[in-house]
Structure 1
Amino acid sequence: FKLDSSPGRGTVVKATFQLGHVDLPPMGDLGGTVIAFLAGHPDISFRYVHRINGDEFLLDTDELKENLEVEELTDPIIMKFLREKIGDVLSSNSVV
């Protein structure tokens, strides 16, 4: 676990887990957790990176807002899509 914070730059939280470790509990609903962060703090830019099996999944809220041409991602249709996408990607054990 690593936490790095700088005024005006933001905060980086990095957690690394060995998936095969006997003490690692089930990951749970990561899609729902990420969506809760996004919905609860629409004014904060999030960059979520998930790496598994050498692949990488990236969710960047600034990039999403630009591509969708919206100011917030709190629309229920957008949130539902993102939750499903994140859930699908993470449950497949591959991010490509």
Structure 2
Amino acid sequence: MKELSLHILDVAQNSTNAQATEIRIEILEDLFANVFRITISDNGCGISEERLNAITNPFTTSRTTRRVGLGLPLLQAAAEQCNGTMTIESAEEQGTTVRATFEHDHIDRQPLGDIVSTLIGLMTGHPAIDFVYHHQVNDRGFTLRTQDIKQELDDMPISDMSVVNFLTEYIQENIHSLYEEANV
């Protein structure tokens, strides 16, 4: 994967497959501490301890269509390549948290990429799931909750093009504002 937003998409898709009703995606960019951290948590079915111990093995997958699962091993490799780590915390029937930490300025750290399209795809592709997106750059943060948006929409679907256009612009503007305020 060439950008971190694709790793986020992969892990979030795992959450949708785990019957999560809420998925939190958090990005922390602490330029002073030189940390770039991605946290994805859900309230899905969780992972057994046995499976959790083998989950970063590429030949461990819950898929029935193929016998390899490269998503988490690739994220782990990307983090470790940038002097970082990846951790997975999970309990059956309680959900899962995947956290990947990178050196922010490491030359091999993949760019965040098109996080806006990733978020829009997740939100419109899984309208029954409540997504919470939080992006923080230094001490400034931006949070988006699809549950709040859905309440304002009444009966209009989140996949309606006018809503998609609004959300795209809203997310872009807020992320741009975070970087602008941090002088990045």
State the TM-score bracket (shorter-chain normalisation). Answer: 0.7 to 0.9
Unaligned runs of 5+ in 1: none
> % of aligned pairs identical?
35
Q: Is 1:42 matched up with 2:105?
A: no
What is the total number of aligned residue pairs between the two structures?
94
**Who wins on radius of gyration, i.e. which is larger?**
2
CA offsets per residue over residues 25-69 of structure 1, 9 Å max, x none?
221111111000011111111111111121111111111111333
Contact 1:30 1:87 in 2 (8 A): no
Distance 1:56 1:41 in 2: 25
1:65 corresponds in structure 2 to: 150
Distance 1:29 1:3 in 2: 24
- Residue 14 (structure 1) shift: 4.4
Q: Relative to 1, partners in 2 of residues 1:51 and 1:94: Cα closer, same or farther, differing over 3 Å?
A: farther
Q: Is 1:21 matched up with 2:112?
A: no
TM-score normalised according to structure 2 size: 0.43
1:30 corresponds in structure 2 to: 115
Distance 2:121 2:96 in 1: 18
Unaligned runs of 5+ in 2: 1-85
